[in-house]
Amino acid sequence: MPQEQYAHRSAMQSSEGPQVYKVGIYGWRKRCLYFFVLLLMILILVNLAMTIWILKVMNFTIGNPLYFQSARNVTVNILNEKTKVLTRLVTGPQAVEAHSQKFEVKTTSGKLLFSADDNEVVVGAERLRVLGAEGTVFPKSIETPNVRADPFKELR
């Protein structure tokens, strides 16, 4: 590293030669500065190594599925920017509850099987079977193009 020198001539000392002042950090101050820079570099490397080690040990990876296991229930909340709950999914040992404005069930190809909101419930399957012992009760009229019973059973 080149050392800068500054020649200074004083008006009072015009008979003497120019005085040379060293500009910069020299001696023990320079060694301490290099020591602190080296220490900082070592701390950065140790911090980076510890972060990578923690990611490896905790099995944090990108692109793998996320699995939840619980003895009681699992709750997933979807929040808006004001931390208000927009959608909640609660899975427990007895039931699965969904609290939202609309609920949909689709096939893997994207075809709608079931949809429910405040205004209507839509069943999009090719066939609808009611397996209850009492069947189903409709308080108002219904319309369908086809009504069938199971093979060798009567339609009631």
Q: How many domains does the chain have?
A: 2
In a domain, 111, yes or no: yes
Prediction pTM value: 0.46
> 111 and 81 in one domain?
yes
In a domain, 58, yes or no: yes
Q: Which two tokens stand for residue 99?
A: 């609290």
pLDDT in tens, 66-85: 788 888 899 999 999 999 99
pLDDT in tens, 17-68: 788 887 888 888 899 999 999 999 999 999 999 999 998 888 777 777 778 8
In a domain, 88, yes or no: yes
In a domain, 48, yes or no: yes
User: Using an 8 Å Cβ cutoff, are 52 and 61 in contact?
Assistant: no
Instruction: Supply the range of the domain harboring residue 84.
Output: 74-123
In a domain, 3, yes or no: no
Core vs surface per residue 112-139: b (16+ CB within 10 A) or e: eeeeeeeeeeeeeeeeeeeeeeeeeeee
In a domain, 85, yes or no: yes
DSSP string, 44-95: HHHHHHHHHHHHHHTT--SSPPP----SS-EEEEEE-TT--EEEEEEE-SS-
In a domain, 41, yes or no: yes
- For residue 97, what is the enclosing H or E element? strand 96-99
In a domain, 96, yes or no: yes
> 80 and 42 in one domain?
no
> 118 and 82 in one domain?
yes
